[in-house]
């Protein structure tokens, strides 16, 4: 029965004639080093490609991906207590370390063929040589131990460990001998040996004929052909090899044959340019099943990080100022400080303490802002259309989507600490609540600077750009838009929607139009929610449109009677769950006649402004973020192009 | 290498290779004392809560506990409330992660406390410990065992404070009484 060994485990051997088969995905050279009980060896006790046969030991003369070593433990020289099977990368071609290759598999079999034990040498990294297994005698019994000890310094380091004084030269000779004939003139790169040692040993390394030493072809126990390489190398001036940093991996207790389905560890992050500096940001560097989800999570991560970095800065500054105030007060109230220069000095000290702390806080903030700005610089160009600004080239390369995106960018947000760092404000789709574009002047500072007509036009344009975005990111036919524009005041801004024919029906005018649109949508919401509650979605009457609906209401409450207002509130409450959404363009002041009864309606909508305004709070620290809507750049025709593509796609899809 | 800390002992949070620590985790683990009696399901569960109070110049600035899991600046994070303690393993039942590099510049001390929210004294708690782990490699830096539990319901465990350019940890191990960290504030202040 085969024993599957784990690193460090040993196993008694029932046979003394053994065959050790190694399989790797790439050529390796195999050596067997015979050592005494103390673990020390001599050059003439190492079977290696230049000297492949020793009493009781034979190894292949060339590197290969499936080397076989044969051992006859009864025939090994007197005093040999321990035989280490070492694998080394020839080093002439990639891979240059075991970590970059498949884990070598070592099988210890009886000469007859029965497998006795096996071992997968896992968990290797920068090593270029590894002691795979060790066969040793303990109390007269031969055992095999799974070792898996790697050496980053290659064979040279291993031989140094085995007590060879000229380990470096010897390793060079071994490596050269193992190299394929064409490559032998070139000094082997294995380990850290010098070129001279490799070249001087290369001649001697060719001595044995490769064919004669194939396992099975060589009778064991034969006296070995005298290896020239060892003596040659030892004659060369031998600098004592410095033991390099050896990677002694911790014992891996995992069963090598029972790997779980856990994904392999991610490749090491690229080294930062300077120690201590954060690694360069990468777009999509967040968790998620798709790139879209990863980007969504990354944007939210940046949002949170910016909020928290600014919170740290603000709290440090606030603390510095309150401490300074306290110290100034103390200096003022201290009667001793009033006379002489003591008080002045105390005040100056308090001020400089405050400045020092503020400066340090600013430095920390600048460091964070620089990192986030760099991240934003790589994330913005990588965003899909639904997350991108209108000026992003992805909108010019727009193609009608097949799936609903996760989220939609409705604008940008920034904090006063760094107005240049603008993050996308993404809302999840399908919309969970309606939107309200505030056309009122009282709402924002920037709004008060504009006259009412301009602001209303901007509000309507913002709403149209948003509706166009929603139409564009939904698959064709799965999103229809209705417009209520009772007085026709938004005719200009609505033109892109009306001209390209993406509206379900022309904008409704007058009180009659308001009533009919609301009645239709109310009926739809009622029917669909009834069907959903009753679990009978297929029982809907044929005329009901089950696609998502957006109702744009301009100039509310113009043209609305009480009944229409009630219906609108019903749509705002019940609509989102059955796919009917509201986009209001309104000035709250216009509806003040209704008093507080409309407050729940306004509160249920996500308020956005057509001009930059700081009214949005983040969920973590409640900073006031300045919102800026996603506006189409002046003079750009991207909106028309996109909407025309949508209409063309709807036509060709027959919807 | 783990240092078993004794009361009042201070260790510097420098890595053995000279680099400074960037992230540490304060882990808290406990078990309820074994139950006797018939109705095992009526085991009186013990809810210990770990909290971290952030001080700037001896003034509390922020606190991280089960109702405010992340400090406003994001540098100190509580992994969540555990109401019953460990079933028998030695793992952390509650943990507070501190990203030392991102702690705001004015915060100079962070005090870790443990309270018994359900009111049992530490006599009824078994195998309670508090440990400090280097979060980057999972190595335990210091462990403080809450044994010899007496008639008190809270303990001020340790503080991490700025020392030079790095941070230092001091084991406090001071018994106190209180349900949440607010009750402990008078007992914390002498340790700052």
Residue of B166, B12, B186, B41 whose CA lies nearest to B100: B166
In this prediction, residue A442 has a pLDDT band, given cuts at 50, 70 and 90, of low
Per-residue pLDDT, B41? 58
Distance CA A32, CA A54 (A): 9
Asked if residue A38 has a cis previous peptide bond (ω within 30° of 0), the answer is no
Distance, CA of A291 to CA of A173 (rounded, Å) = 51
Mean pLDDT confidence for B135-164: 80
pLDDT of A322 higher than 80: yes
A30-68 pLDDT, tens digit per residue, is: 888 888 877 777 778 888 887 888 888 888 888 788 888
Query: Can you tell me the mean pLDDT for A14-29?
Result: 84
Phi/psi-derived region of residue A635, left when phi > 0, alpha when psi is between -120 and 50, beta in every other case: left
- What's residue A272's pLDDT? 43
**Mapping DSSP to helix (H, G, I), strand (E, B) and coil, where does residue A299 land?**
helix
Predicted pLDDT of residue A422: 93
Q: Cβ contact (<8 Å) for B74 and A620?
A: yes
Tell me what percent of the residues of chain A surpass a pLDDT of 90.
30
Lowest-pLDDT choice from A57-66, B65-74, B111-120: A57-66
Q: With 80 as the cut, is the pLDDT of residue B24 above it?
A: yes
| Residue-range definition of the domain harbouring residue B67 | 3-33+43-184
Q: What residues does each domain of chain A span?
A: 3-235, 291-382, 428-535+542-653
Q: Is A213 exposed, middle or buried (0-12, 13-18, 19+ CB in 10 A)?
A: buried
Element (H, E) at A115: strand A115-120
A46 and A200 in contact (C-beta within 8 Å)? no
pLDDT in tens, A536-585: 877 777 777 778 899 999 988 888 998 999 999 999 999 998 889 999 99
- Strand pairing class (B94-99; B76-78): antiparallel
The pLDDT tens digits for A93-148 are: 556 777 777 788 888 888 877 888 888 888 787 888 888 888 888 878 888 888 88
Angle between helices A562-574 and A510-534 (to 10 degrees): 40
b/e per residue A150-163 (b: at least 16 CB within 10 A): bbbbbbbbbbbbbe
| % of chain A with per-residue pLDDT over 70 | 82
- Alpha carbons B48 and A434: distance in angstroms, whole number: 43
CA closest to B70 among chain A residues: A620
pLDDT reading at A516 higher than 80: yes
Tell me, what's the pLDDT at A258? 59
The per-residue pLDDT for A225 is: 41
**pLDDT score recorded for residue B114:** 87
B56 touches A: beta carbon within 8 Å: yes
Token pair 């940046």 in the structure block, residue: A302
In the numeric block, which tokens belong to residue A80? Answer: 């040999």
List CB contacts (< 8 A) between A621 and chain B: 72
Query: pLDDT higher for A255 or A349?
Result: A349
**CATH class of the structural domain A428-535+542-653:** alpha beta
List, in sequence order, the alpha helices (H) in A383-505.
393-396, 445-448, 452-473, 491-500
Instruction: Tell me what the mean pLDDT of segment B121-143 comes to.
Output: 81
| DSSP secondary structure, A494-553, as one string | HHHHHHHT-BSSPPB-HHHHHHHHHHHHHHHHHHHHHHHHHT-GGGS-TT---SEEEEEE
On whether the CB atoms of residues B163 and B150 are closer than 8 A, the answer is no
Give the dihedral of Cα atoms A155, A160, A161, A163; nearest 10 deg: 130
Above 60 in pLDDT, residue A259?
no
User: pLDDT grade, residue A335 (50/70/90)?
Assistant: confident
Q: Which of A556, A553, A551, A554 is nearest to A592 (CA)?
A: A556
Confidence (pLDDT) at A176: 75
pLDDT recorded at residue A35: 84
Kindly report the nearest CA distance between residue A103 and chain B, in angstroms: 25
Best of B15, B54, B72 to substitute, by most chain A Cβ atoms within 10 angstroms, is B72
Residue A79 has a pLDDT of 82
Statement: residue A195 has pLDDT above 80? no
- pLDDT for position A410: 93
CB-CB contact of B175 with B152 (8 Å): yes
* Residue B16 CA: distances (Å) to CA of A150, A233, A251, B22, B95: 24, 41, 22, 13, 24
Q: Rounded to whole angstroms, how far apart are CA atoms A557 and A411? A: 26
Strand partners, A409: A426
CB contact under 8 A, A364 and B74: no
Strand partners, A146: A133
Strand-strand pairing, B59-64 and B76-78:
unpaired
- The pair of structure tokens assigned to B90 is 């030695």
Rounded Cα gap, residues A220 and A217, in angstroms: 9
User: What's the rounded mean pLDDT across residues B117-143?
Assistant: 81
How many domains, in total, are found in chain B? 1
Q: Are A575 and A432 in contact (CB under 8 A)?
A: no
Please tell me the distance from the alpha carbon of residue A323 to that of residue A49, in angstroms, as a whole number. Answer: 76
Cβ–Cβ of B70/A620 closer than 8 Å?
yes
Mean pLDDT, rounded, of chain A: 80
A446-477 pLDDT, tens digit per residue, is 767 788 888 889 999 999 999 999 999 999 88
- Cβ <8 Å between B72 and A621: yes
C-alpha torsion A591→A592→A598→A601, nearest 10: 60
Residue A357: the pLDDT is: 92
Say if residues A56 and A74 touch (Cβ distance below 8 Å).
yes
Q: Let me know if residue B127 belongs to a domain.
A: yes
Q: Lay out the sheet containing B23-32: strands in order across.
A: B3-4, B139-145, B125-134, B23-32, B94-99, B76-78
CA distances from B170 to A311, B10, B11, B21, B191 (A): 28, 4, 6, 15, 10
Q: Is the peptide bond before A557 cis (omega within 30 degrees of 0)?
A: yes
Residue A411 CB partners (closer than 8 Å, separation 6+)? A425, A608, A627, A628, A629, A630
Query: What's the angle, vertex CA A646, arms to CA A643 and CA A650, rounded to 5?
Result: 145
B105 in reach of chain A (CB within 8 A): yes
pLDDT at A368: 92
pLDDT at res. A369:
94
The per-residue pLDDT for range A396-417, each reduced to its tens digit, is 889 899 899 999 999 999 999 9
**pLDDT for B4-16, tens place per residue?**
666 667 777 766 5
pLDDT of residue B107 exceeding 80: yes
- pLDDT tens for residues A482-492? 999 998 888 88
Q: Is residue B190 part of a domain?
A: no
User: A64-73, A327-336, A353-362, A444-453: lowest mean pLDDT where?
Assistant: A444-453
Model confidence band, residue A276 (pLDDT cutoffs 50, 70, 90): low
What is the domain-level CATH number for residue B178?
A: 2.60.60.30
Q: Is the pLDDT of residue B45 over 80?
A: no
Q: Please, are residues A482 and A517 in contact by the beta-carbon 8 Å criterion?
A: yes
- Per the domain annotation, does B189 fall within a domain? no
Chain A contact for B108, CB < 8 A?
Answer: no
Hey, what are A506's tokens?
A: 């022309």
Distance from first CA to last CA of chain B, Å, rounded? 28
Q: How far apart are CA A73 and CA A119, in angstroms?
A: 20
Least confident of A22-31, A385-394, B3-12: B3-12
For residue A655, name the pLDDT band (cuts at 50, 70, 90).
low
DSSP state of A488: -
Q: What is the pLDDT, as a whole number, of residue A236?
A: 39
pLDDT of A204 over the 80 cut: no
Question: Looking at the complex, does the CB of residue B102 fall below 8 Å from at least one CB of chain A?
Answer: yes
Q: In this predicted complex, what is the ipTM?
A: 0.86
**At B44, is the pLDDT very low, low, confident or very high (cuts 50, 70, 90)?**
low
Distance CA A63, CA A57 (A): 17
Select A3-235's CATH number: 3.10.450.50, 2.60.60.30, 3.40.50.720, 3.50.50.60.
2.60.60.30
A320 interaction partners in chain B (CB closer than 8 Å) = 106
- The minimal CB distance from A312 to the residues B57, B59, B104 is found for B104
Minimal Cα distance from B60: which residue of A?
Answer: A319
Q: Are A121 and A103 in contact (CB under 8 A)?
A: yes
The residue behind tokens 């569960």 is B45
Confidence label for A250 from pLDDT (cuts 50, 70 and 90): low
From chain A, pick out residues whose CB is under 8 angstroms from the CB of B105.
316, 357, 360-361, 364
pLDDT value at position A234?
A: 39
DSSP string, A16-70: SEEEEEEE-SS-BEEEEEEE-TTS---GGGEEBTTB-EETTEE--SS-BSS-EEE
Is A191's pLDDT higher than 50? Answer: no
Sign of the C-alpha dihedral, residues A175, A181, A187, A189?
Answer: negative
Residue tagged 């940890």 (tokens): B169
CA atoms of A205 and A182, how far apart (whole Å): 14
Residues in chain B with CB shorter than 8 Å from the CB of A311 are 72-74
Beta strands in A283-434 (DSSP E): 407-414, 423-428
DSSP three-state, residue B17: coil
Q: Best of A308, A321, A367 to disrupt the B interface by mutation (most B CBs within 10 Å)?
A: A308
Helix (H, G, I), strand (E, B) or coil at A591: helix
Contacts of residue A635, Cβ cutoff 8 Å, sequence gap at least 6: none
Mean pLDDT, to the nearest integer, of A85-90? 84
**Cα–Cα distance for residue pair B148/B122, rounded to 1 Å:** 8
* DSSP code per residue over A157-197: HHHHHTT-TTHHHHHHHHHHHHS-GGGTTSPP-STT--HHH
**Nearest to B182, CA basis, from B115, B130, B120:** B115
The whole-angstrom distance between A106's CA and the closest CA on chain B is 31
């Amino acid at each position: 029965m085969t024993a599957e060994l784990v690193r460090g485990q040993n196993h008694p051997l029932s046979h003394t004639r053994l065959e050790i088969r190694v399989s790797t995905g790439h050529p390796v050279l195999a050596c067997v080093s015979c050592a005494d009980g103390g673990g020390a060896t001599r050059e003439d006790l190492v079977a290696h490609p230049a000297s492949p046969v020793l009493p009781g030991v034979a190894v292949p003369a060339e590197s290969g991906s499936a080397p076989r070593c044969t051992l006859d433990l009864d025939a090994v020289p007197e005093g040999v207590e321990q035989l280490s099977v070492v694998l080394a990368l020839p080093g002439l071609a990639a891979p240059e370390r075991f970590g970059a290759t498949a884990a070598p598999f070592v099988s210890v079999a009886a000469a007859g063929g029965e497998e006795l034990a096996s071992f997968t040498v896992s968990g290797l990294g920068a090593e270029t040589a590894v002691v795979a297994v060790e066969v040793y005698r303990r109390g007269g019994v031969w055992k095999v131990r799974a070792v898996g000890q790697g050496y980053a310094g290659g064979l040279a380091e291993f031989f140094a460990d085995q007590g060879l004084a000229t380990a470096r030269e010897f390793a060079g000779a071994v490596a050269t001998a193992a190299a394929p004939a064409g490559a032998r003139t070139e000094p082997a790169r294995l380990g850290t040996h010098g070129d001279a040692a490799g070249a001087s040993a290369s001649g001697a390394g060719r001595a044995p004929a490769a064919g004669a030493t194939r396992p099975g072809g060589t009778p064991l126990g034969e006296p070995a052909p005298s290896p020239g390489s060892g003596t040659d190398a030892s004659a060369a001036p031998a600098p004592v090899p410095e033991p390099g940093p050896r990677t002694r991996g911790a014992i891996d207790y995992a069963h090598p044959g029972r790997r779980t389905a856990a994904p392999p560890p991610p490749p090491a992050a690229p080294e930062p340019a300077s120690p201590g500096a954060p690694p360069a940001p990468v777009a999509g560097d967040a968790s998620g099943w798709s790139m879209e989800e990863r980007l969504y999570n990354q944007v939210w991560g940046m949002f949170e990080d910016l909020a928290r970095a600014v919170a740290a800065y603000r709290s440090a500054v606030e603390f510095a100022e309150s401490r300074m105030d306290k110290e100034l007060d103390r200096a003022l109230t201290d009667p001793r400080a009033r006379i002489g220069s003591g008080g002045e000095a105390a005040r100056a000290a308090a001020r400089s303490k405050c400045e020092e702390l503020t400066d340090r806080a600013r430095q920390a903030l600048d460091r964070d802002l620089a990192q986030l700005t760099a991240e934003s610089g790589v994330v913005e160009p990588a965003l899909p259309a639904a997350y991108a600004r209108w000026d992003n080239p992805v909108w010019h390369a727009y193609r009608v989507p097949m799936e609903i995106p996760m989220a939609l960018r409705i604008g940008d947000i920034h904090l006063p600490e760094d107005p240049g760092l603008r993050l996308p404000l993404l809302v999840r789709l399908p919309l969970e609540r309606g939107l309200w574009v505030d056309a009122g002047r009282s709402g924002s500072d920037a709004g008060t600077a504009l006259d009412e007509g301009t602001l209303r036009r901007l509000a309507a344009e913002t709403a149209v750009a948003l509706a166009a975005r929603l139409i564009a990111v939904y698959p064709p036919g799965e999103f229809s838009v209705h417009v209520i524009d009772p007085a026709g005041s938004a005719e200009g801004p609505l033109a892109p929607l009306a001209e390209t024919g993406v509206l379900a029906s022309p904008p409704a005018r007058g009180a009659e139009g308001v009533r009919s649109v609301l009645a239709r949508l109310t009926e739809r919401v009622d029917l669909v929610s009834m069907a959903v509650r009753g679990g009978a979605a297929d029982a809907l009457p044929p005329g009901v449109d089950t696609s998502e609906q957006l109702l744009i209401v301009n100039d509310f409450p113009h043209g609305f009677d009480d009944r229409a207002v009630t219906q609108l509130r019903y749509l705002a409450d019940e609509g989102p769950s059955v796919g009917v959404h509201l986009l209001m363009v309104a000035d709250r002041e216009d509806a003040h006649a209704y008093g507080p009864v409309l407050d729940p309606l306004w509160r249920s909508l996500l308020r956005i402004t057509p001009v930059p305004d700081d009214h949005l709070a983040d969920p973590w620290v409640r900073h006031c973020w300045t919102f800026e809507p996603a506006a189409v750049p002046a003079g750009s025709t991207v909106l028309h192009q996109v909407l025309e593509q949508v209409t063309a796609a709807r036509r060709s899809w027959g919807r | 290498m783990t240092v078993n800390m004794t009361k009042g002992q201070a260790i510097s949070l420098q890595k053995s290779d000279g680099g400074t620590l960037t992230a540490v985790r304060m882990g808290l683990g406990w078990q309820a004392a074994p139950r006797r009696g018939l109705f095992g399901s009526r085991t009186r569960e013990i809810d210990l809560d770990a909290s971290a109070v952030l001080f700037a110049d001896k003034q509390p600035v922020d606190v991280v506990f089960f109702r405010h899991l992340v400090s406003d600046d994001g540098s100190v994070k509580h992994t969540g409330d555990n109401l019953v303690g460990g079933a028998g393993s030695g793992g952390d039942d509650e943990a507070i992660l501190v990203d030392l590099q991102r702690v705001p510049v004015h915060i100079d001390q962070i005090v870790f406390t443990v309270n018994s929210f359900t009111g049992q004294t530490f006599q009824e708690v078994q195998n309670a410990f508090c440990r400090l782990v280097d979060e980057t490699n999972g190595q335990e830096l210091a462990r403080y065992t809450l044994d010899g539990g007496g008639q008190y319901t809270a303990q001020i465990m340790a503080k991490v404070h700025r020392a030079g350019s790095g941070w230092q940890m001091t084991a406090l191990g001071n018994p106190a009484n209180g349900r949440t960290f607010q009750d402990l504030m008078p007992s914390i202040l002498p340790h700052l």
